[in-house]
């Protein structure tokens, strides 16, 4: 019998051995598959799930909303998620105006406000946070986040609400300050802040809540720099003439805002030059009367509504005394005594400003065969040759300026012409060199001002009437484009707007109370409201060669 030196293996052990080898093979095969197919698999960025659009919710506050007899200096808000604070010093509105500085601390899911002083006694305070507190992840602002508490044993419950629009455009005004002021004889909103206030939303709507039941003056201002004070030079304002009574019931008020620069008119600076001397005023002016205090006179004109320029013409004394009677946009007249003294010439020849011209209508704008035309010069005119200046009709007929009626303005720099032609295609004004000479002795280069003849089929027409107008009422009917630029103003009813370019327009009516054929603004100090402006509710769409009839506008009774 043959013998072997190999150890014997039990059958059960041998089976276990084979199972283990099979497992190893399977595992190796799985690894190979993962390596092969893993390389071929496309890499995909894992999605982060649905975007969080839920704003943080206030779950608790200290003090609680509508707490009575609050005497603390700390206010803490607790939310259901992590939050961040965004520009809270600008967005948190505390009414009434507390004049109580505070600091804030953001701590995960809570915000703590610490005030320097305790709140005024026997007063209901409202803290409106706007969108100053947002969630950490998506910056969703907490909605309608407001806290009300009282330092007495009762809550004030009166409410004032309403809307705010611009009187010129009829559009709602966003983020304007609407304030309730204490009624006093010395109220000055340029120096006094409102006692209660709110800001308008995107629809121009405001609401002031939890206020004391008494009388207030209701005033709205732009408050562009957010200092809660009125800057008359560049901020609009609006007001209710009589004091309003805040009671237990809510009351609604609609205000219109307007510019009303009631600042004192001053001479801001003077600009002496060799050729001219400018007096610059602190705000726009409507007109100025100049009285020369000696026998000497100087030509002058008003530039851009804010500067009065005198021209240096020889001979004249070293200085000229004048009395200025200046009317501003509010109709206020202010008198000034002014000395005009030009700079001494330094070179052999004086350097003159260029002599320029503009026209109304502008060059290349269409005109009808009967039209009014204006030549506008930047210097007073000393001489015009009304025989050499001609109107050329279709390049055939030449008519001299003296064949038409024309007149100068007071300062002799605007020439108004009533012209008529029989042109079919174009008219041209021919201005030869030397035909217009300024007071400084310079002239324009030769010019040809061309205008096509207006074709009726390219334009539309609007006809209508003013409804509910009293026989004694005077009004101005205006058609304005989408940028509120005035197309034309009419002063009677029925009215017809002719030769209107295709486009979209608004129709509005101004109640001309003082019958001066212009809109006049209001003044808070005189308790004077601006002249009312009423808009037709719907925008007008006008197509070329179309006529719209019975486009009527109603004056509310």
pLDDT digits (tens, 9 = 90+) for 300-323: 999 988 999 999 987 777 889 999
The CA-atom distances, in angstroms, between 74 and each of 111, 114, 146 are: 11, 5, 16
Task: Kindly state the tokens that stand for 181.
Answer: 């002021």
Domain with residues 58-150, CATH architecture = Sandwich (2.60)
pLDDT at 27: 52
Q: What are the tens digits of pLDDT across the range 442-453?
A: 999 999 999 999
- Residue 351's pLDDT is 79
Q: How many CB atoms lie within 10 A of CB 133?
A: 24
- What is the mean pLDDT of the segment spanning 256-266? 94
Q: Note the Cα 34 to chain centre separation in Å.
A: 66
Instruction: Express as a percent the part of the chain with pLDDT over 90.
Output: 77
Which CATH superfamily hosts domain 158-259?
Immunoglobulins (2.60.40.10)
Q: Residue 66: is its pLDDT beyond 80?
A: yes
Question: Is the pLDDT score of 3 beyond 90?
Answer: no
Q: Tell me the C-alpha distance between 211 and 160, whole Å.
A: 8
Which CATH number is associated with domain 357-454? 2.60.40.1220
Q: What is the pLDDT of residues 108-152, one digit of tens each?
A: 999 999 999 999 999 999 999 989 999 998 999 998 899 999 999
Location of structure tokens 């010395």: 186
Question: What are the Cα distances from residue 3, in Å, to 9, 11, 489?
Answer: 15, 20, 131
Q: What are phi and psi of 467, to 5 degrees?
A: -100, 145
Of 234, 124, 237, the closest CA to residue 187 belongs to 237
Span 259-284, average pLDDT? 94
What is the model's pLDDT at position 248?
67
Residues paired with 339 in a beta bridge: 321
pLDDT score of 40 more than 90: no
User: Which pLDDT score, from 0 to 100, does residue 396 have?
Assistant: 83
Q: What pLDDT was estimated at residue 295?
A: 80
pLDDT above 60 for 22:
no
- Report how far residue 391's alpha carbon sits from residue 422's, in angstroms, rounded to the nearest whole number: 11
Poorest-pLDDT segment among 34-43, 278-287, 514-523: 34-43
Domains 357-454 and 458-554 share a fold: yes
pLDDT given at position 33: 46
- Span of 143-147, 503-507, 528-532 with lowest mean pLDDT: 143-147
Predicted pLDDT of residue 30: 52
Q: Report d(CA 543, CA 545) in Å as an integer.
A: 6
Task: Give me the mean pLDDT over the 228-246 stretch.
Answer: 94
Q: State how far the Cα of 495 lies from the Cα of 118, in Å rounded to an integer.
A: 64
Give dist(CA 401, CA 449) in Å, integer: 14
What is the pLDDT at residue 50?
Answer: 61
Which tokens go with 351? 């350097």
Rg (CA), the chain: 39
Q: Which of the residue ranges 49-53, 243-247, 441-445, 455-459 would you say has the lowest mean pLDDT?
A: 49-53
Eight-class DSSP state of 444: P
pLDDT for 39 beyond 50 = no
State the pLDDT confidence band at 49, using cuts at 50, 70 and 90. Answer: low
- Length of the chain (residues): 557
- DSSP labels for 141-182? BPTT-EEEEESSSS---EEEEEEEEETTT--B-SS-EEEEE-
pLDDT surpasses 60 at 15: no
The average pLDDT across 513-520 equals 93
Kindly tell me the burial class for residue 56, based on how many C-beta atoms sit within 10 Å of its own C-beta (0-12, 13-18, 19 or more). Answer: buried
Q: Is the pLDDT of residue 47 over 70?
A: no
Mean pLDDT of the chain: 89
Which class is domain 458-554? mainly beta
Encoded tokens for 135: 């969630």
Q: Does the domain made of 267-340 have the CATH classification 2.60.40.1220?
A: yes
Q: Express each pLDDT in 478-493 by its tens digit.
A: 999 999 999 999 999 9
The HSE-up count of residue 205 (CA atoms within 13 Å, CB side) is 4
What residues form DSSP beta bridges with 163?
Answer: 205, 254
pLDDT band for position 249 (50/70/90)? confident
pLDDT computed for residue 18 by the predictor: 40
Phi and psi angles of residue 406, each rounded to the nearest 5 degrees, phi first: -145, 160
For the whole model, what pTM was predicted?
Answer: 0.79
Spell out the domain ranges in the chain: 58-150, 158-259, 267-340, 357-454, 458-554
pLDDT at residue 352 tops 90: no
Using pLDDT thresholds of 50, 70 and 90, give the confidence band for residue 185: confident
Query: In this predicted structure, which of 6-10, 22-26, 233-237, 327-331 has the lowest mean pLDDT?
Result: 6-10
Among candidate residues 196, 167, 336, 361, the one with its CA nearest the CA of residue 268: 336
pLDDT at 32 over 70: no
Is residue 67 a contact partner of residue 76, using CB atoms and an 8 Å limit?
no
pLDDT at 44 over 90: no
């Amino acid at each position: 019998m043959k013998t072997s030196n190999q150890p014997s293996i039990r059958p059960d052990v041998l089976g276990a051995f084979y199972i283990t080898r099979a497992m190893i093979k399977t595992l190796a095969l799985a690894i190979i598959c993962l390596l092969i197919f893993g390389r071929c698999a496309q890499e995909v960025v894992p999605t982060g799930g649905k975007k969080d659009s839920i704003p943080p919710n206030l779950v608790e506050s200290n003090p609680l909303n509508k707490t009575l007899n609050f005497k603390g200096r700390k206010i803490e808000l607790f939310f259901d998620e992590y939050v961040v604070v965004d520009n809270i010093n600008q967005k948190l509105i505390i009414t009434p105006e507390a004049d109580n500085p505070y600091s804030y601390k953001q701590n995960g899911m809570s915000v703590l406000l610490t005030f320097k002083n305790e709140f005024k006694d026997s007063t209901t305070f409202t803290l409106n946070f706007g969108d100053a507190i947002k969630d950490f992840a998506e910056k969703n602002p907490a909605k309608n986040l407001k806290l009300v508490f009282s330092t007495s044993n009762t809550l004030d419950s009166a409410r004032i609400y309403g809307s705010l629009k611009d009187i010129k455009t009829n559009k709602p005004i966003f983020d304007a300050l609407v304030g309730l002021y204490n009624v006093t004889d010395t109220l000055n909103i340029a120096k006094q802040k409102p006692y209660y206030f709110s800001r308008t939303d995107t629809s121009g709507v405001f609401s002031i809540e939890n206020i004391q039941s008494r009388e207030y003056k209701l005033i709205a201002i732009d408050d562009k720099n957010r200092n809660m004070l009125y800057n008359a030079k560049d901020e609009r304002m609006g007001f209710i003439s009589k004091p309003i009574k805040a009671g237990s019931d809510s009351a609604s008020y609609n205000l219109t805002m307007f510019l009303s620069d009631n600042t004192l008119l001053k001479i801001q600076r003077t600009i002496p030059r060799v050729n001219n001397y400018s007096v610059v005023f602190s705000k726009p002016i409507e007109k100025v009367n100049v009285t020369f205090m000696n026998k000497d006179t100087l030509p002058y004109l008003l530039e851009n509504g804010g500067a009065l320029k005198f021209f240096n013409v020889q001979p004249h004394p070293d200085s000229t005394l004048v009395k200025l009677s200046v009317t501003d946009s509010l109709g206020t007249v202010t008198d000034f005594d002014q000395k005009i003294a030009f700079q001494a010439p330094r070179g052999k020849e004086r350097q003159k400003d260029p002599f320029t011209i503009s026209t109304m209508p502008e060059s290349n704008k269409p005109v009808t065969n009967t039209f009014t035309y204006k030549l506008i010069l930047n210097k007073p005119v000393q001489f015009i040759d009304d025989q050499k200046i001609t109107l050329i009709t279709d390049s055939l007929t030449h008519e001299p300026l003296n064949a038409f009626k024309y007149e100068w303005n007071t300062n002799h720099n605007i020439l108004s012409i009533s012209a008529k032609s029989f042109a079919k295609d174009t008219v041209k004004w021919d201005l030869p060199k030397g035909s217009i000479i300024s007071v400084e002795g310079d002239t324009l280069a030769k010019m040809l001002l061309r205008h096509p003849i207006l074709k009726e089929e390219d334009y539309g027409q609007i006809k209508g009437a003013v409804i509910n107008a009293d026989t004694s009422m005077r009004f101005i009917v205006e058609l304005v484009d989408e940028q509120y630029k005035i197309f034309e103003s009419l002063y009677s009813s029925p009215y017809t707007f002719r030769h209107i370019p295709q486009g979209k327009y608004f129709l509005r009516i101004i109640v001309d109370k003082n019958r001066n054929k212009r809109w006049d603004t209001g003044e808070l100090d005189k308790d004077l409201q601006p002249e009312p402006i009423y808009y037709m509710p719907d925008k007008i769409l006008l197509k070329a060669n179309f006529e719209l009839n019975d486009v009527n506008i109603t004056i509310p009774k």
